[in-house]
Amino acid sequence: MHAKTFILQTLAVVAPAFTVFAASPDFVDDIQPILERNCVRCHNAEKTKGGLRMDTYKWIMQGGDTADAIVPGNPAASELLVRIHLRPIDEGVMPDEGRALDPKEIVLLNAWVKAGAPWPEGIALTEQKPEPVKRVSIPDRTPESATDAAAILDDILRRENEESGAIKTRTIDDLVFLRRATIDLIGRIPTVSEIREFEAWGNDRRVKLVDKLLVHPRFADRWTIFMADMLRVRSNIEGGNQLLAFINKSIAEAKPYDIMVRELIAASGRANSNPAVGFILGDDANPMELAAATAQVFLGVRIGCAMCHDHPFDDWEQRDFYDFAAFFGKTQKVGNQRMGTVYTTEGSKMNVLWPPEDKAKPEEREPVSPRFPFKNIKYDSKPSYLIRFEKLRAQQEQKSTEGNDAHALDSLLEAVNPTAGKKADPVLREAEKESRLLNVHGDIYRTSELREKLAGLITNPRNDFFARAYVNRVWAEMIGHGFVEPLDNFSPYADLHHASTLDFLSREFIASGYDLRSLIRIIALSDTYRRAPLTAEIPLTVRENSERNFTAAPQRRMLGEVLYDSIVTAGHLKNFKWPAGANMKEVSSEIRVPTGEYIMAEAEASAPEMATEKPMLRNDGYDLESSLKLDFNSILTPHEASELETMRKESDKQIKAREMAETQNKEKQKVMKYTIKTVTNTVDDNPRFDSAMRMASPAPPAHFLRVFGQPERAGLGEFRDPSSSLRQQLMMLNGRITHEASRVGSLEPIHRLLEKDKTEAIVHAYWEILTRLPTEEEKTFALSILSKDPHEGMADLRWSLLNCNEFRFIP
Amino acid sequence: MNACNDYQFTRRRMLKLFSASILGMPISRLMAERIPGQGHAEHVVLFWNSGGMSHLDTWDPKPGRKVQGEFNPIKTSVPGMEISEIFPQLAKQMHHASLIRSIAGTNGDHGRAQYELQTGFSQSPNILHPGIGSMVVHEREPLGDLPSFVSISGQPSRAGYLGQQCEAYYVGRPGEKDPYLAFPEGISHARGMQRLQVLERMNAQISGRLGATELKASETALKDAVALMESPALKAFELNEEKPQTIARYGDTEFGRGALLARRLIEKGVRFIQVNRGGFDNHGNIFNAMRAHGNAMDPGIASLISDLKANGLLEKTLVIVLSEFGRTPRINDGGGRDHWARCFSCMMAGGGTKGGTIIGASDEDGMEPAERPVKVHDLHATICYALGIDLNKEVVTPQGRPMRLVQKEATPIRELFA
């Protein structure tokens, strides 16, 4: 195929409506604005990317390092035209930062080059800011209900899509909706009894279902996964598990998002008494890292790029970053070796200094005073969503008891001894009395005024970035694409689309008092959420355009945790599916046996493994698929009293003596010598699998969840990898969990059905695994699988259903 | 195309190829061509020693100095080159190997240093750089059925922006069969194959209807998984085919078995093998620990080098022994050495390098590089150079950011090559 034909074909697909412009564009009116807004920023006298300057005719005709930018009269030979025709995901696409050119602009440039690229003499181009994002009107009224809000959303989206050329797919059936919403909201497929219940509901069953799922106990678990990815929660660092439990509890209690974030940013103390502190500890209380993370995670602004230099793709300057980082400049992480604990507190010295280390001598650097570089929105009369928000907050605040520091300590201490009816433990009483003399929060864990102030600025409802950043993430989690991508990059040069839909949702989110459930309810009840995927005959470019414009559902794979829990649900693995003793088998395992002999400790035993961290290995084959639950309740039980007690009991002298003794012991430490023996045991192989939602996370390397995309949560800007891999397939084909889920246990309902009626059993299997009836053809085919041995055949059928793409991808 | 099993980017690469071939665009190098004038190596075995291996007690002994420690230097097969007595067998192979004694690291923190040594970049927000193994398999097409990148006894650095397809295939215990490569217990091969037929039929139904690339990618991965399960090359993972004498020669330890497995995998065309070993963070009792390390490592690495030489594969295989930093020359009160990044060593053998070469030198106590300091990213440039990988290669991340695989400032150590 010839290049020209390719371009023409692309044009035919994307821009039939704009051929009218193809005549002869005017340079000043049509071409100059496109070049100035999209090209000159990186191709000018100062910045000459790819060796190309585009600010004057002479320069543009000289071309770049690799090719001629423009060959007058020949678009196909012009590198500029070739590059702008690539799609956003292609290598070498131009513009490579910021908004992609729209079809109209592409047609204009094409026509201009074809017409010989006329450039009136003497015109030199200068960079222009990108055009403001296009918006449509948002009705100024309070939605009557979530359904009404969803309808307003759909209408705004429809108006924003008027010129998009996107194909709107059909609406999914209610049963598909049941599966989709159950997976998205509570993180597993629906059970047969849930299907029956749903079918029995009347016309408003979708609303009923969404209401039910929003109060389901699993809702908090599933959205904890979402928040844990966003906040990069790692169980293996100090305060990680507490933070995980804190998030879970906050979601379960419907704590408003802004309040939760305020707690995260302003937290001081120890993870055991203040679980929110894990966020600050996660970045080692380093002001620079915290500033970058806070802006990017909560505001969707990658100001962290300005840490080392003025932002190359954005308008942030290094000084802005330093001013912002100064809010964290007095935060300290204190390792208390005596008690083996770590906490954060506020120091008195400002550790963020200007100019940066590499640009000035130490004595020239001055402490920075904090400044918030983001501007709040301005208005003449207060918008109605803010009035609604303020009214709601006033009501909420009236209800809640006023908390102060002494109060907080009271409740902490009460929580240590929560059973009010029981007799109080005298030891605890004593500790309590002591602790009241010691002002923990005042003396040790100093409150950070700077961070409290920052938390207020960030979560200010007039700070536009805050709600939008979160809404964009929640929307993408449910719809498959964000309004801006990467999800945490709201740069003015990023390609933000459907801005009014996002504005509307953000305002409703604020008006709801930053309530996650209200936000999800609007999205789930929208018509947009009920789009079917496009069918096979639709060309790729049209498919991508439609998915990006939210008029067709993309193929989304279940999250690893959700896939795991769906297998557990479909295969009845939560309870024993065999009577005791039905699966006796011999299992050999290697165990370490003490020899009774003491040897000098070898360094290897205690050396850290670091990057060579190994996954947990057991010998029964379940290790990479196990799901050990954390007990969030016990994690959140404060241990303040015992900590104070330790402080009171040991004087510094005693501690010193103990430490010395320990060091001496360590030097001549002897350890028991072990030998490895293989033992064979007869075990009842009747495994159960629990939910993977409450596992310590991230799971060990090579674990099921990691193989299915659970991120490492180490760096900012890391998102789940949605791609398929060979490892995933091997894990599903040959793993224990799929195998056990497929086998027909005698305690399962399907076991009885198989004895009675094979067809009925097949129908049941389809309901359980795919939330639908089998077609006649599928039924016949399944019967042939079951013909030899119904039980083994059913296991084969279920194995195939669990492995097939229809199961793994969200319908 | 590259060797990563390309599922995520099928669409993207397909289009790139498509547009490039028809438009004749000089946009980027699509095929990983071998760069003329660079090396001809095909495989890499990286022995990764986690925790910071002492340079003074291995490759850079300092006899007669206060910092010497318990070990004496021994002569090697190269006149004038001496190494620590904990490596007696390796000493006889040094005419195939070169030592770099002047690596100037910058980071004394385990995590950050490991990141830097394995990726060639410093940790930074918003980007996860790929480890060297992922980079190599991204740039080199697979040879044979086995995964291109295998990591033994531990995890290497992640594939980062190169995607899940460039991650290592993980072998927990060398010599043991991976349970995920065969149908589950109780499912015969015939029954398993029947199941797969049913599955294929179901998958074809949905992708026939919807045709989304995501579904096709999943099916491609499934085909690859089955092909791997059925491949005769899988036997390479099983060490019971080896004579007991051979196993004994490599050392019947996890490390020895790992080294032997590495040889077997190279024979089957695996591109990059990382053999991991922990336990080098010897803040106390370092000499006991290093003696134990020597006992395990010496026979394994020496046998690997001599076997590769014997079957003609050494010329094509770069063997590297590396750690995230060295250890303090000063011996602490606990008889250990602490973290020391400012100067440490590394060994490289085969893969077109000249044997018997010493690059750079440390000062008299091994504190600082005294001659020809080598930067950490120069090691990466050297590995790429040995394999003929374009040092200027840029890859666009899924987020659309162009990234160099090797830092611009990095230069390969050309004197290493014949």
Report the alpha-carbon distance of residue A778 to residue A783 in Å, rounded. 8
Mean pLDDT of A258-268: 94
The letter for the amino acid at A685 is D
Q: Distance between terminal CA atoms of chain A?
A: 37
| Cβ–Cβ gap B163/A604 under 8 Å | no
Q: Which of B16, B194, B218 is opposite residue A724, by nearest beta carbon?
A: B218
ipTM entry: 0.78
Q: Which of B16, B185, B284 is opposite residue A603, by nearest beta carbon?
A: B284
| Cβ–Cβ gap A536/B128 under 8 Å | no
pLDDT at A78: 87
Q: Which DSSP category does B158 fall into?
A: -
Quick one: pLDDT band at residue A91, thresholds 50, 70, 90?
low
Judged by phi (left if over 0) then psi (alpha if -120 to 50, else beta), residue B261 lies in alpha
The structure tokens listed for B399 are: 């987020």
Contact B343, B366 (CB under 8 A): yes
Mean pLDDT lowest for which of A206-215, A297-306, A503-512?
A297-306
Domain extent at residue B106: 40-177+238-369+408-416
Judge whether residue B24 has pLDDT over 50: no
| Cβ–Cβ gap A82/B23 under 8 Å | yes
| DSSP-derived 3-state class of residue B405 | coil
A370-387 pLDDT tens trace: 999 988 888 888 999 999
B149-172 pLDDT tens trace: 999 988 888 888 888 778 888 887
The structure tokens listed for B287 are: 């000499």
The letter for the amino acid at A159 is R
Structural domain includes residue B11: no
Which residues of chain B lie closer than 8 angstroms to A723, CB-CB? 7-8, 163-165, 217
- Please tell me which residue of chain A has the smallest CA distance to B226: A730
| Cβ–Cβ gap A90/B12 under 8 Å | yes
Q: What are φ and ψ of residue A341, in 5° steps?
A: -125, 160
Contact B43, B270 (CB under 8 A): yes
| Cβ–Cβ gap A667/B284 under 8 Å | yes
| Cβ–Cβ gap A92/B25 under 8 Å | yes
| DSSP-derived 3-state class of residue B15 | helix
Contact A421, A632 (CB under 8 A): no
Structural domain includes residue B89: yes
| Cβ–Cβ gap A610/B128 under 8 Å | no
Partners of B103 in beta bridges: B344, B374
Distance from CA of A397 to the nearest CA of B (A): 38
For residue B376, what are the CA distances in angstroms to A223, A688, B107, B345, B407?
41, 48, 10, 11, 10
Bond from prior residue into B402 cis (ω within 30 degrees of 0): no
Which residues, 6+ apart, have CB-to-CB distance to A334 below 8 Å?
Answer: A342, A343, A344, A345
The structure tokens listed for B306 are: 């001599």
Which residues of chain A lie closer than 8 angstroms to B25, CB-CB? 67, 79, 82, 92
Which residues of chain A lie closer than 8 angstroms to B124, CB-CB? 715
Structural domain includes residue B310: yes
B403-412 pLDDT tens trace: 899 999 999 9
| Cβ–Cβ gap B212/A533 under 8 Å | yes
| Cβ–Cβ gap A610/B187 under 8 Å | no
Report the alpha-carbon distance of residue A194 to residue A771 in Å, rounded. 10
pLDDT at B219: 92
Report the alpha-carbon distance of residue A190 to residue A193 in Å, rounded. 8
| Cβ–Cβ gap A604/B292 under 8 Å | yes
| DSSP-derived 3-state class of residue A102 | coil
The tokens 């990141």 sit on which residue? Answer: B115
Q: How many helices (H) and strands (E) does chain B have?
A: 10, 17
Partners of B353 in beta bridges: B417
Judge whether residue A327 has pLDDT over 90: yes
Run of H or E including A36: helix A32-38
- CATH for B255: 3.40.720
pLDDT at A656: 62
Contact A471, A149 (CB under 8 A): no
Mutate to test the interface with B, among A610, A668, A706 (most CBs of B within 10 A): A610
Among A584-598, A707-721, B191-205, name the most confident range. B191-205
Count of domains observed in chain B:
1
A102-151 pLDDT tens trace: 778 888 888 899 888 989 888 888 888 777 788 999 998 899 999 999 99
| Cβ–Cβ gap A721/B8 under 8 Å | yes
Cα-to-chain-centroid distance, residue A618: 31
Distance from CA of B154 to the nearest CA of A (A): 4
Q: Is A493 or B201 the better-scoring residue by pLDDT? A: B201
Which residues of chain B lie closer than 8 angstroms to A673, CB-CB? none
Mean pLDDT of A704-708: 92
Average pLDDT over chain B reads 88
Judge whether residue A189 has pLDDT over 80: yes
Which residues of chain A lie closer than 8 angstroms to B28, CB-CB? 91-92
Cα-to-chain-centroid distance, residue A564: 18
Judge whether residue B383 has pLDDT over 90: yes
Judge whether residue B287 has pLDDT over 80: yes
Q: Which of A1, A3, A717 is opposite residue B126, by nearest beta carbon?
A: A717
Q: How many helices (H) and strands (E) does chain A have?
A: 36, 9
pLDDT at A670: 58
Whole-number percent of chain A with pLDDT over 90: 46
Judge whether residue A402 has pLDDT over 80: no
B319-357 pLDDT tens trace: 999 999 999 999 998 899 999 999 999 999 999 999 999
Distance from CA of A66 to the nearest CA of B (A): 6
Q: Which of A67, A604, A714 is opposite residue B289, by nearest beta carbon?
A: A604
Run of H or E including B394: strand B394-396
pLDDT at A259: 96
Report the alpha-carbon distance of residue A55 to residue A332 in Å, rounded. 49
Quick one: pLDDT band at residue B36, thresholds 50, 70, 90?
confident
B292-326 pLDDT tens trace: 999 999 999 999 999 999 999 999 999 999 999 99
- Please tell me which residue of chain B has the smallest CA distance to A98: B400
Mutate to test the interface with A, among B29, B110, B169, B215 (most CBs of A within 10 A): B215
Report the alpha-carbon distance of residue A634 to residue A638 in Å, rounded. 9
pLDDT at A10: 42
Distance from CA of A805 to the nearest CA of B (A): 6
Distance from CA of A552 to the nearest CA of B (A): 12
Mean pLDDT of B46-70: 96
Distance from CA of B307 to the nearest CA of A (A): 26
| Cβ–Cβ gap A804/B202 under 8 Å | yes
| Cβ–Cβ gap A702/B172 under 8 Å | yes
Judge whether residue A400 has pLDDT over 90: no
pLDDT at A643: 52
Q: How many CB atoms sit inside 10 A of residue A419's CB? A: 7
Structural domain includes residue B307: yes
Judge whether residue A160 has pLDDT over 80: yes
Quick one: pLDDT band at residue A483, thresholds 50, 70, 90?
very high
Contact B231, B265 (CB under 8 A): no
Report the alpha-carbon distance of residue A180 to residue A603 in Å, rounded. 53
pLDDT at B31: 41
Q: Which of A537, A610, A724 is opposite residue B114, by nearest beta carbon?
A: A610
The tokens 């980007």 sit on which residue? Answer: B127
Mean pLDDT lowest for which of B165-169, B234-238, B354-358, B367-371?
B165-169
| Cβ–Cβ gap B19/A86 under 8 Å | yes
Cα-to-chain-centroid distance, residue A220: 14
- Please tell me which residue of chain B has the smallest CA distance to A92: B27
Judge whether residue B267 has pLDDT over 70: yes
Structural domain includes residue B155: yes
Distance from CA of A395 to the nearest CA of B (A): 40
Structural domain includes residue B192: no
- Please tell me which residue of chain B has the smallest CA distance to A305: B125
Q: Counting one residue from A and one from B, how many pairs have CB atoms under 8 Å apart?
A: 273
Distance from CA of B133 to the nearest CA of A (A): 14
For residue A83, what are the CA distances in angstroms to A476, A525, B57?
28, 40, 56
Mean pLDDT lowest for which of A80-94, A141-155, A192-206, B330-344?
A80-94
Which residues, 6+ apart, have CB-to-CB distance to A18 below 8 Å?
Answer: A103, A104, A107
Partners of B152 in beta bridges: B171, B275
Contact A236, A604 (CB under 8 A): no
Report the alpha-carbon distance of residue B254 to residue A182 in Å, rounded. 46
| Cβ–Cβ gap A715/B288 under 8 Å | no
Calculate Rg over the CA atoms of chain B: 22
Mean pLDDT of B195-199: 97
Alpha helices in B231-358 (DSSP H): 244-250, 254-267, 286-310
Per-residue buried b or exposed e for B295-323, using 16+ beta carbons within 10 Å of the residue's own CB: ebbbbbbbbbbbbbbeeebbbbbbbbbbb
Quick one: pLDDT band at residue A459, thresholds 50, 70, 90?
very high
Q: Which of B16, B183, B279 is opposite residue A734, by nearest beta carbon?
A: B183
The letter for the amino acid at A644 is L
Judge whether residue A537 has pLDDT over 60: yes
Report the alpha-carbon distance of residue A453 to residue B144 in Å, rounded. 60
Class of residue B392 by CB neighbours under 10 A (exposed 0-12, middle 13-18, buried 19+): exposed
Q: Is B359 or A101 the better-scoring residue by pLDDT? A: B359
| DSSP-derived 3-state class of residue A270 | strand
* Cα angle: A432, vertex A436, A440; to 5 degrees: 105
Per-residue buried b or exposed e for B230-261, using 16+ beta carbons within 10 Å of the residue's own CB: eeebbebbebeebeeeebebbbebbbbbbbbb
pLDDT at A564: 97
Side-chain-side CA neighbours of residue B261 (13 Å): 32
| Cβ–Cβ gap B155/A614 under 8 Å | yes
Which residues of chain A lie closer than 8 angstroms to B217, CB-CB? 723-724
Q: Distance between terminal CA atoms of chain B?
A: 29
Average pLDDT over chain A reads 83
pLDDT at B21: 28
Structural domain includes residue B35: no
| Cβ–Cβ gap A304/B281 under 8 Å | no
| Cβ–Cβ gap A610/B51 under 8 Å | yes
Q: Which DSSP category does A422 fall into?
A: S
